[in-house]
Amino acid sequence: AKERGRRCYKFYSDSLNARALERLQLEESLRTALVREEFELYYQPQVDLKSEQITSVEALIRWNHPTLGMVSPGEFIPIAEETGLIIEIGEWVMKTACAQAKSWIDEGFPPCRMSINLSSVQFKRSALTETIKDVIEETGLPPEYLELELTESAVMTDVEQNIQRLKQLKNMGIKIAIDDFGTGYSSLSYLKKFPIDTLKIDRSFVTDLAENKEDEAIVKAIMALADTMNLGVIAEGVESQSQLAILRQYECELIQGYLFSRPLNKDDIGMLLKTGL
Ligand code: C2E
Ligand code: CA
Ligand code: CA
Ligand code: CA
C-alpha cells in the first residue's frame, strides 16, 4: 500500500511539475517574443449592417512560437498580464495597429477605424493617456480612427478614477467600446456615468441566439438599453444567417464574426478593405 501511495504521489507531482514547467517555458519565451518579432496582428472586419460596408477592424494578436506554433491569445494574454509583460506587448499592439490604420489612410482606402483591445492592467496605469498620445503623434493616425475595447470588469472597478480616465480619452477624440458586454457585473446605474460609445454584445449570447429564447431576450434588452442611452451596438461571434436575421430584426448596427470574415493577416485584410466585401 505504501508503494502504491508513493507512486500516486509521484504521478500527481509529475503532472503538476509538467504544467508548472510548461507555464514557466511560456513565460520565458514570452519575455523574448517581442525582440524576436514573433507577434503578428490579425484584423477582423466590423460590418455596418445597413450599408454592408466595413467600418472598422479589430486588431487581434497572434504569437508564432518557435516550437509550439501558434499560441492563442487566450493562453498567453493572462500570463502577460500576471507578469506585467502586457504593458510592453500592449504598446507594441497599439503602435503596430495605429501605424497600419494610418497606412490604409495614406493608400486611399475607404475610412476604417481601428479597434484595439486594452487589458485592465494597461487601463489602470496612470501613464496610459501619455502612451496613447505618443503613439498617435508617432504614427500620425487621427484619434477619431482609434477605438479602445475595454471589458466591463476593467471599467467597473475604481469607478470614479475610471470615469476621469475615460473622459481624457474621449476628449482626445478616441472612441470607447465595452467588450464582452453582459458577462461582467455591470451596474446599469454606473453605465450611464461612463463616457462610452459602444456596447459589444458578447459571443456567448450570440452563439445560440437562433435557438435560445433567453439569449434572444438578453440581446433584445441590451439593444433597448443602448437605444435609450444613445450607444452604438456591435455583436461579436456572428457565424450564421439565422443569427444575423435576429440581430437585424433588433436593428443591431454592427456585426463581427466568421459569417463575414475571420481575422485576416495584414495583406489579406488590405485586399478586402480595398475591394470591399
Ligand atoms: P475578444 O476581445 O472577445 O475577441 C474576440 C475573439 O473571438 C477573437 O479570438 C476572435 O478571433 C474570435 N472570433 C471572432 N469571430 C468569431 C466567430 O464568428 N466565431 C468564433 N467562435 N470566434 C470568433 P482570439 O483572437 O483568439 O482572441 C481571444 C481574446 O484574447 C480576445 O477576446 C481578447 O480578450 C484577447 N486579445 C486578443 N488580442 C489582444 C490584444 O492585442 N490585447 C489584449 N489585451 N487582448 C487581446
Ligand atoms: Ca475585443
Ligand atoms: Ca468576447
Ligand atoms: Ca474580450
> How confident is the model at residue 1, as a pLDDT?
46
The helices-and-strands tally (H runs, E runs) of the chain is 12, 9
Mean pLDDT within 137-157: 95
Long-range contacts of 236-240 (CB under 8 A, 24+ apart): 236/200, 236/201, 236/202, 236/203, 236/206, 237/202, 237/203, 237/204, 237/206, 237/207, 238/206, 239/207, 240/210
The tens digit of pLDDT for each residue in 264-273 reads 999 999 999 9
Regarding the beta carbon of 79 and ligand 1, being less than 6 Å apart is answered no
CB atoms within 10 A of CB 229: 13
In the chain, the percentage of residues whose pLDDT exceeds 70 is 94
pLDDT band at 153 (very low <50, low <70, confident <90, very high): confident
pLDDT band at 11 (very low <50, low <70, confident <90, very high): low
Mean pLDDT within 41-53: 97
Mean pLDDT within 137-142: 98
Ligand number nearest to the C-alpha of 256: 1
Mean pLDDT within 108-135: 96
Best substitution site from 93, 117, 209 to test ligand 1's pocket, by max atoms within 8 Å of Cβ? 117
The tens digit of pLDDT for each residue in 214-236 reads 999 999 999 999 999 999 999 99
Residues 6+ apart with CB under 8 A from 247: 49, 206, 209, 219, 235, 238, 255
Best substitution site from 39, 46, 47, 60 to test ligand 1's pocket, by max atoms within 8 Å of Cβ? 60
Based on its alpha-carbon atoms, the radius of gyration of the chain, rounded to whole angstroms, reads 21
CA-116 nearest atom, ligand 1: 41
pLDDT band at 170 (very low <50, low <70, confident <90, very high): very high
